[in-house]
Amino acid sequence: MTEERWLLIGTDARFKKLAVQLSKPHRTVLYKYSDEWNDELLKLSTKLQPNRIVLPIHPLKWTADMKSFLQVAEQATLFVGRTTADFKQQLSTAKTISYLQDEQFIWQNAKLTAEGMLRAFYDHEQKSMDKQQIVITGFGRVAKMTAALFRELGATIHVLARSETQIYEAEAYGYKASFLAPDAFEGELHYVINTVPVKWLTTAFSDKLSSATTLFELASAPGCLSFEEQPDFDYIQLPGLPGKYFPQDAAELLIQTIELYNEKLKEEHHA
């Protein structure tokens, strides 16, 4: 039996638990608490010669040269999270598995993210969700789960989306829905939850928001702000909510997904 040599890289709380769960006979597991590829990791990986590499959920940062990582990764299967366009292009010839594209993982992770968003709201606002007016931008999986949870608790939801399909879908679910445009920011907005990973929030949008507004950022990098100066409204970035608030549940979900793909790898090897 070929020994599995795993290298795990990430600061998300679930990765430490993942490393423990992956530790089994015929496996060597090395976990590094880091979100960047640096000289120390290069030395460790050169010694380990991993044939399984699990990368962080958010894009890897680079202190050491990217080419040095690609050389290590040549003989490995990569389990990747989110990637930059450049890194994705560099990985075009490598064997990669995107654990964030597994449908079961996506939906269950979205559910945990929605629960985490609720926890963050309680922590920050110390208010009940009942009768709150919530604007949610986008209507993907995270937005759907968040809207459903918040409505169950008595909130009124207004979905702002960039596509007709999402608008019609939101309306079919019974939400008020509009195109994502400055004019859609009506009246005095207190709470906006962004799930769109695009810099759509220009000064034209910002002018519609006041110091009484709190915008919770759930989207991955680069987020929604299109300007660098500090906004007048309260802007709260909330990356990795499942790992922050529910590390055990989030870790078990990640473990199930990675183990499932690893079993498929072994089946392909023996086929």
Per residue in 45-72, pLDDT (tens digit) is 999 999 999 999 888 899 988 889 988 9
Residues 56 and 123 in one domain: no
Residues 141 and 230 in one domain: yes
Q: Which of 13-27, 132-146, 153-167, 257-271 shows the lowest per-residue confidence on average (mean pLDDT)?
A: 257-271
CA distance 80 to 57: 7
Residues 261 and 190 in one domain: no
Total domain count for the chain?
2
Residues 77 and 21 in one domain: yes
- DSSP state at residue 11: -
Higher pLDDT residue, 255 or 117? 117
Residues 176 and 68 in one domain: no
User: Which tokens in the block code for residue 33?
Assistant: 């608490």
Domain that holds residue 231: 106-239
Contact 150, 135 (CB under 8 A): no
Residues 187 and 253 in one domain: no
> pTM for this one?
0.84
Contact 135, 189 (CB under 8 A): yes
Q: Of the spans 9-23, 41-55, 139-153, 223-237, which averages the highest pLDDT?
A: 139-153
- Element housing 98 (H / E): strand 95-98
Q: Over 90: is that where the pLDDT of 38 sits?
A: yes
